[in-house]
Chain A
Amino acid sequence: MREGLGETFIPFPGSPEGESPEEGIALLDDAGTILAANEVLGEMFRYDPGELVGLALCRLIAGGAPCRFEHLLHPPDTCAARSSALGRWLRVAGVRRDGSGVPFDMTAVSVPEGKGVAYVVVIRDCGSREGTEALLRLQSTALEAAANAIVITDPGGTILWVNPAFTRLTGYSPEEVLGKNPRILKSGAHPDSFFAGLWKTVTSGTVWKGQTVNRKKDGSLYVEEQTITPVRDRHGINTHFIAIKSDITARKNAEESLREKSAKLEERVKELRCLYEVSELLRRNDITQETLLAQAAELLPAAWLFPERTCARLVWEGREYRTENYRESGWKLSEEILVHGIRVGSVEVGYLGEEPAGGMEPFLPEERALIEAVAHLLGNSIERRWTEVALRASERQYRLVVENVREVIFQCDTEGRWSFLNPAWENLLGYPVEESLGKSFLQYVCPEDHEKGTEMFRRLRSGEADTVRDELRGVTRFRETRWYEVVAVRLADASGEFTGTLGTFVDITRRKEVERLKSDFVATVSHELRTPITSIKGALGLLAGGVGGVLPPQAQDLLDIARRNCERLGLLIDDLLDMEKIESGKMVFSLRALDLLPLVEQVVDGTSAYAGQFGVTFRIAGMIPGARVKADPDRLAQVLTNLLSNAAKFSPRDTTVEVSLERREGKIRVAVRDQGPGVPVDFRPRIFERFAQADGSEARRKGGTGLGLSISRAIVERLGGLLDFESREGEGTTFYFELPELEADHGTEAP
């Protein structure tokens, strides 16, 4: 803009005539105030040209003061003549409107103006030029060094310049591509419309960013991400295109791989979720088995690749549980559900799409694995449920028994403290179970039976006994003493160590009372029975003795009959009472060390008269003096008497019954041998039975109650021995009993 200067054309030193768009021109008055300026100057200093008018030039100079201008033109120092701007270019530090520094070169020419002088100043922005130059140099270096490929083309797209990274990327050297179009990299992967769109974008001045699949020199494909920036000059005209490319092939591959993996992972997650949900479902015990199976079927399709086209069905013991969309299809997976190894149902998953071409396997291995897993889960869970139900039933049953029986069921620990008591405890003893647990069992045992109880426990603890059974008295909460029959077993761990006891006890007080009553009864009855017999026997005896007067012979006979039977009655009562005592275990034995020989002699003596009635004599043979046993003398005598009288009864007249003593393997045998008819074979099994007599009439004639042998045997057995017989029909019988021999160092008492 040179209006302000009119038409005057002033040639500047060193500058070409004509246009120089980079030069700012100002007209100054002699004070240095700008009278006129061109656009460029304004641009340089960031002022509107209008603002510059009237502005002191010094304002454009860093640290500028009015005098500074003078110095510019007329430096005071003549030595510094070279620092004048007149006629030469002077480097000045300028300052823009915004205070930023801009070095410039200045030259001035004086122009006569009327009477005075005006100056024309030309200013060249060397700072920006310098900056631009530096920047360019920087950029150039950067471009060279950039890792990304950079292509600079002209507005037509012809390649003007490429950086080394381009060569690395594409394989083409700069010489090979200069002057060519980037379309040499085309791979054919993109349709023409793609490039049309690209060209349209960049030619309209917009940056284009995108991904392209290109071909390298060696023919291989790669993926690049490109940014194409149009470069425009100040007038908005496109001067170049700069394309920055980066090879994202690897990234793309990684992305693809990730996408694949991600998809796979999602699938896995779906499967796992399916399994998890099914297993959560199975863990619930608040739903019925039917609900469980129906819901499980619903959970399945979601885990398959195309849930909306997948249907499922569970078959269980004949019943079906289907998803709504279920229909038969040839494209399905199924797996058996096994419970305890038995097939009870199946899981099916079907695909509702088109049937695959023959032979193609429609389902992925993962899907097979999934259905197997589901079937397995279901099988296991149902199995567990059944087991639980069975267990609960068994527990219920156990509980029913333990809680409802009348017997107390208990467990003791190694110290004899209660560790378990069933409810019957409270019924029997009156104490609540909770109160009694942990307490020693002895606390509840009657003091008199403490010793017995302690001994029972000790025997179990030491292992001497595996089971103990006895009767103990206990004291209830209400201070009642009651009898209990206790059975306890020893509990031990795998190594045999005592771990406690387990047992039951039951209240037998009533039974004990009954026994006592019976005992009393027996005693009473015996007394009651004996009393009239005493009277009868006494009266008959007196009569027979003549106390009532002389009796006629026939009366005498009748009297004998009466007396005989009275005798028999008495014996029968004795035997019956003995029998009762033995059977109820009430027979009392006073055991002592006994010399057998004297006892045998005494009994033989005592029975001789009786035997005499039958014409039978006794003979003692095989005596062992000093043979001793531990026995009750009266009872043993009773046994021997029984054997001797039997022998006498069944011996023919004028025969001998032999009584012998024998030592046999630590035992003493006392045998009674007769020469009678022997025991009939068919009677032998019954011989020791109560009231058993060989031949009704014969035996009754011989008398006896039929209880003798059973009582005798019971007595001998109670004394720790045995009683038996040997017999041959027609040859006689030997009855014998054996008792363990007693060692010599025991003291003896005469029988």
Chain B
Amino acid sequence: MEPRPLRRILLAEDEPDIQAIVGLALRSVGGFEVEICGDGPEVLDRFLSGSPDLVVLDVMMPGMTGPEALKELRRLPGGAGIPVIFMTAKVQPGEVEQLKALGAAGVIPKPFDPMTLASQIRALWEAAQIPETPKRS
């Protein structure tokens, strides 16, 4: 069966510049609809009111961190199964495993290539749609 196409992405990122770049990369390059939030609580809020296909969470956010937001997200209605991708500057091997163990579909390191970001995310999304496929980063 064809995987459902990825259309709406919900992003949580506290850095305005990176918000702009990610937004641009995903919209212009990837053609996705992107809703941008500035922190964890906002993303939980928007999740309920919007209905994204995928959530991208920055890990290091002031207040509620990415992992914390993920935990909360899972408890929301509809939040249990939604694919979540982390973005982080911390890329030590152990950390990546830890993040994936939390239930993320993937981890994208910063800095990233904005031209390929969209395809990376699409690839992770498609992988997440296939239940048996082992997740790779």
Contacts and interface: CB of A to CB of B under 8 A. Distances in A.
16 contacts: A523-B90, A526-B90, A527-B89, A531-B18, A532-B17, A534-B110, A535-B17, A537-B111, A537-B112, A538-B18, A538-B25, A542-B24, A542-B28, A542-B115, A547-B29, A588-B93
Contacts of B90: 523, 526-527
**Among the interface residues A523, A531, A570, A632, which one has the most CB atoms of the partner chain B within 10 A?**
A531
A526 B89 CA distance: 7
Contacts of A588: 92-94
Interface string B86-114: 00011011100000000000000011111
B45 interface: no
A538 B112 contact: yes
A541 B115 contact: yes
Nearest to A569: B111
Contact of B15 (A531, A544, A566): A531
A547 B112 CA distance: 16
Interface of B: 15, 17-18, 20-22, 24-25, 28-29, 60, 89-90, 92-94, 110-115
**Among the interface residues B17, B60, B111, which one has the most CB atoms of the partner chain A within 10 A?**
B111
Chain B facing A: main interface SS: helix
A574 to B, nearest CB: 9
Contacts of B114: 537-539, 541-542, 545, 547
A423 B113 CA distance: 61
A487 interface: no
**Among the interface residues A533, A536, A541, A632, which one has the most CB atoms of the partner chain B within 10 A?**
A541
A590 B93 CA distance: 9
Contacts of A590: 93-94
A570 B89 contact: no
A534 B29 contact: no
A526 B113 CA distance: 18
**Among the interface residues A526, A547, A570, A634, which one has the most CB atoms of the partner chain B within 10 A?**
A547
A96 interface: no
A544 B111 contact: no
A653 interface: no
A452 interface: no
B93 A527 contact: no
Given A526-B90, A537-B111, A538-B21, 13 more contacts: A530-B111, A531-B15, A537-B113, A538-B17, A538-B22, A539-B21, A542-B28, A542-B115, A545-B29, A547-B28, A570-B111, A588-B92, A632-B93
Given A545-B29, A547-B28, A588-B94, A530 B110 contact: yes
B30 to A, nearest CB: 11
A542 B111 contact: no
**Among the interface residues A523, A530, A544, A590, which one has the most CB atoms of the partner chain B within 10 A?**
A530
A526 B110 CA distance: 10
Contacts of B20: 539
Given A531-B15, A531-B18, A538 B89 contact: no
Nearest to B59: A527
Nearest to B92: A588
Nearest to B89: A530
Nearest to A577: B92
Nearest to B97: A590
Contacts of A541: 25, 113-115
